[in-house]
């Protein structure tokens, strides 16, 4: 089954241009300066997932929310400070993104092995890949060499991360603004094969939309009332929420997507063809997912002398450290 669209070609041209403007990443970036980094991240992610499988989903999402806000630059990890209000309390992140303690744990182990070498932005990219693999998904060679931002923007986080109430056209424009195509949108949304969402994120879909299986909507309404219980969680893939598989796409075919933005991918648009393909063929989904993750990881990285290698992922380095170097 092939799904071809003119739109895909148009958007690819845009993404080529945006990658050119920034430095190139490489999978061997730390092979002489910190050969241990991949093993350290893998071990810490494994330990975190063993403790709580959902943490794999949370780490994958952190990389996405980092990359969509002024590029993959670790900005989401910065705590608020005197100069800016950070991204953690932006609408798409507040009380929702998690995994910061796991990132701190990874960072401290990596700093012990190779001080001042590996960026927080790269740690997020590696942890996202390792999480995917450990929950049963595809692997890929993570491109590295990103540097960390010295600032963060709550306004940009509010404006750049797509909302679960978006329809297909708004989802497509949100992804196109990052140089990502319809195919990237469908493949990357397959991340919702793992993890949980709050009642407040899916309430509109289960009460107001008609493109949802009636008994599925009813059972969710029992858990998520019209008002209150905002923070009650439900799995994004009701069948296997801790396995990275293609059942998310099966759910969409049965009108059992949890978020409106999920079901919009199978609601009569050109995305339908891709949803059917990934539901029918796990390998096709895995291949597309790996490719799109690399593409998402390439969004506007800071390279060369831009940005810095943060010592603590939550804080911009102090000037004094820059002087010593």
Is residue 246 close enough to count as binding ligand HEM by CB under 6 A? no
**Is 71 a known ligand-binding residue?**
yes
Number of residues that bind ligand NAG (CB under 6 A): 22
**Is 173 a known ligand-binding residue?**
no
10 Å CB burial of residue 233 (0-12, 13-18, 19+) is: middle
How many angstroms separate the CA atoms of 176 and 75, rounded? Answer: 21
**Is 36 a known ligand-binding residue?**
no
Ranges within 72-101 binding ligand NAG (CB under 6 A): 89-91, 94-95
How many angstroms separate the CA atoms of 109 and 106, rounded? Answer: 5
Selected catalytic residue, list 22, 63, 65, 250: 65
- Name the token pair of 139: 């692997």
What DSSP state is assigned to residue 316? P
The SS3 assignment for 302 reads: strand
Is residue 210 close enough to count as binding ligand NAG by CB under 6 A? yes
Going by C-alpha positions, the residue among 138, 88, 125, 129 that lies closest to residue 299 is 125
Active-site residue, 63 included: no
Which of ligand NAG, ligand HEM, none does residue 158 bind to, with CB < 5 to 8 Å depending on kind?
ligand NAG
The residues that bridge with 308 in the sheet, in sequence order, are 148
Of 204, 240, 287, 311, the residue at the interface with ligand NAG (CB under 6 A) is 204
Of 22, 46, 98, 109, the residue at the interface with ligand HEM (CB under 6 A) is 98
Going by C-alpha positions, the residue among 264, 301, 60 that lies closest to residue 173 is 264
Which of ligand NAG, ligand HEM, none does residue 279 bind to, with CB < 5 to 8 Å depending on kind?
none
The SS3 assignment for 224 reads: coil
- Name the token pair of 294: 């690399």
Is residue 261 close enough to count as binding ligand HEM by CB under 6 A? yes
**Is 192 a known ligand-binding residue?**
yes
In the stretch 43-82, what mask flags binding to ligand HEM with x, by CB under 6 A? -----------x--xx-xx--x------------------
**Contact (CB, 8 A) for 5 and 185:** no
**Contact (CB, 8 A) for 258 and 224:** no
Binding residues, as ranges, are 66, 69, 71, 73, 75, 87, 162, 192-193, 237, 240, 245
For the annotated catalytic residues, the residue numbers are 65
Residues forming the site for ligand HEM (CB under 6 A): 54, 57-58, 60-61, 64, 96, 98, 162-164, 166, 171, 185, 188-189, 191-192, 194-198, 201, 236, 259, 261
């Amino acid at each position: 089954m092939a799904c071809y669209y003119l739109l895909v070609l148009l958007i690819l041209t845009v993404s080529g241009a945006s990658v050119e403007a920034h430095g190139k990443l490489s999978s061997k970036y730390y092979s002489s300066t910190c050969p241990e980094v991949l093993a350290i991240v893998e071990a810490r992610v494994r330990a975190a997932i063993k403790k709580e499988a959902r943490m794999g989903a949370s780490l994958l999402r952190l990389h996405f929310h980092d990359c969509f806000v002024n590029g993959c630059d670790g900005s989401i990890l910065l705590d608020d400070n005197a100069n800016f209000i950070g991204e953690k309390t932006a609408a798409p992140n507040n009380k929702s993104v998690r995994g910061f303690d796991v990132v701190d744990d990874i960072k401290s182990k990596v700093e012990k092995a190779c001080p001042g070498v590996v960026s927080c932005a790269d740690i997020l990219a590696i942890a996202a890949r390792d999480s995917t693999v450990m929950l049963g998904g595809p692997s890929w060679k993570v491109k590295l060499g990103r540097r960390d931002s010295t600032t963060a923007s709550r306004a940009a986080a509010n404006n750049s991360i797509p909302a679960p109430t978006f329809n297909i056209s708004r989802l497509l424009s949100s992804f196109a603004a990052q140089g990502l195509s319809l195919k990237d949108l469908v493949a990357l949304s397959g991340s919702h094969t793992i993890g949980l969402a709050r009642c407040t994120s899916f309430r509109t879909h289960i009460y107001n939309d008609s493109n949802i299986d009636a008994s599925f909507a009813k059972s969710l309404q029992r858990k998520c009332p019209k008002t209150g219980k905002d923070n009650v969680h439900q799995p994004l893939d009701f069948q296997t929420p801790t396995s990275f598989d293609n059942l998310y796409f099966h759910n969409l075919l049965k009108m059992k997507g949890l978020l409106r933005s999920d079901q919009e991918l199978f609601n009569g648009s050109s995305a339908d063809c891709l949803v059917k393909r990934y539901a029918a063929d796990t390998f096709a989904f895995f291949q597309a997912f790996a490719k799109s993750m690399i593409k998402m990881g390439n969004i506007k990285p800071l390279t060369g002398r831009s940005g810095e290698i943060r010592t603590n992922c939550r804080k911009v380095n102090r000037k004094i450290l820059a002087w010593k170097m």
